Amino acid sequence: MTDVSSISVAVGELGAKFAGRLLPPTDDAYDEARRVHNGLIDKRPALIAQCRGMADIVDAVQLARRLQLDVAVRGGGHNVAGRATIDGGLIIDLSPMKGIHVDAKAHTARAEGGVTWGEFNRETQLHGLATTGGVVSTTGMAGLTLGGGIGWLMSKYGLALDNLRSMDLVTADGRVLRASADEHTDLFWAVRGGGGNFGIAASFEFRLHTVGPMVTGGLVCWPLKDGKDVLKLFRELAILAPDDLMLVATVVGAPDGSGTKLAAIAASHCGSLRDGEAAVRPLKAFPTPVIDTVAPMTYCELNAMLDAGYPKGARNYWKSHFLPDLTDEAMQTMIECYERCPSPMSAILLEHFHGAAARVGVGETAFPLRSPGYNFLVLSQWTNPTDDEQCIAWARETYAAMQPFVGLGRYVNYLDDDEPGDPAVAAYGPNYRRLREIKAKYDPENFFHMNQNIRPSS
């Protein structure tokens, strides 16, 4: 490990030209800057480089190489496994980089790597435009896109990465490259799903679509005793869903924190309000809901409607896999497992894949999850550290109970750090070999490895 005095000297030399802030552990801002969304993660980097622009990123990469420090890259800091932070290394923090430029005529937007989806949507919705982003508005744009990009618009317009037109990034050797369909095309293929393995994404250019400002969306909840019927309704609606309609089913604690267990369906319809009303009619007609918020709302309100359920600092442990089908047995297992859930903040979710997101070829981008089906997530969340053991155990037990129903695919953004073997193999499937070859071209020393790592081929 590099000694403190060497870091201090290097920071002093760089400080005069660095536009952002360099935060050692003695800085008053260090403790807040080192924290990520998941309160279960508590790491202490040797240095945090809060970057203001591309030149700062290049200098931070060169500083890490000079001091032989491992690097973690932070955009929004939402990654549940805590890959945006590191013990004893350097965090290259893009969170101050908030620039967004919308070209309403061209239906494109360019945004810097520290932007969150709430910030991005606020700018694009001034023009009635949007692209697929996260289902929680505080999620960072960069990490979500690089790993895939599940969001409310994905059945209509594809994943976030399917709407990426170009990206500017800093490589492991400090070069600044643009990846697009015309430049560094192999890199452009790899970054669309390959995560942060190939460089630090400083800016993104997205294709935008006419969305809103009013859409149809919301959440309908029923008592957990009706859970199997609710999940059957979800399955029926999902099978017939038009591209405009995105559906998520969940068994979850009541939003009032009472501990009451519920079954729920969240919906988003991005077409006309008239078509949206018709699409959600079966959902609203299902008997005896205890909560029904489905109604016309702004797209920004839709993107933020789940935010309160994912507070910063809560302790999180997730397990995820892909279900090709939703059988009655899988539904029953989910409900029985949730009945044993120890925390009212936890949930089990099913995110339905169909439409545009499922019409892209497996090899067209690095992201291989292109079949219709259900992304299954055990989301264990709590606040008291004394509950760590039981809440983690519940997630693991639930995940194990669901194994008879899973397929081959994994969503890389949901993978945790205690997976046996190499989970990247399962996440990337037939694309893994090509990803390793591209990794060897752009990062042969595996400089960027604090991620769901793709090891370079030898």
Residue 375 belongs to what H/E stretch? Answer: strand 373-382
Domain boundaries, the chain: 4-93, 100-211+433-442, 214-414
Residues 355, 243: contact at Cβ < 8 Å? yes
Architecture per CATH, 214-414:
3-Layer(aba) Sandwich (3.40)
Cis peptide before 213 (omega within 30 of 0): yes
Strands (E), 190-314: 200-207, 209-210, 214-223, 245-253, 261-269, 291-292, 295-298
41, with CB counted inside 10 A (0-12, 13-18, 19+), is buried
Residue 2's pLDDT is 67
Dihedral pair phi/psi, residue 111, rounded to 5° = -135, 145
Helices (H), 80-226: 117-124, 141-147, 154-157, 185-191
Question: DSSP string covering 309-350, please?
Answer: GS-TT-EEEEEEEEES---HHHHHHHHHHHHT-S-TT-EEEE
Question: What is the fold of 100-211+433-442?
Answer: 3.30.465
Global pTM value? 0.94
Residues 122, 151: contact at Cβ < 8 Å? no
What would the CATH number be for the domain defined by 4-93?
Answer: 3.30.43.10
Structure tokens at 18: 């660095």
Residues 200, 187: contact at Cβ < 8 Å? no
Q: Is 112 helix (H, G, I), strand (E, B) or coil?
A: strand
| Amino acid letter, residue 61 | V
Would you give per-residue pLDDT tens digits along the chain (458 residues)?
567 777 887 778 787 789 999 999 999 999 999 999 999 999 999 999 999 999 999 999 999 999 999 999 999 989 998 899 999 999 999 999 999 999 999 999 999 999 999 999 999 999 999 999 989 999 999 999 999 999 999 999 999 999 999 999 999 999 999 999 999 999 999 999 999 999 999 999 999 999 999 999 999 999 999 999 999 999 999 999 999 999 999 999 999 888 899 999 999 999 999 999 999 999 999 999 999 999 999 999 999 999 999 999 999 999 999 999 999 999 999 999 999 999 999 999 999 999 999 999 999 999 999 999 999 999 999 999 999 999 999 999 999 999 999 998 899 999 876 777 788 888 999 999 999 999 999 999 999 999 999 999 98
| DSSP state at residue 127 | G
Residues 167, 179: contact at Cβ < 8 Å? yes
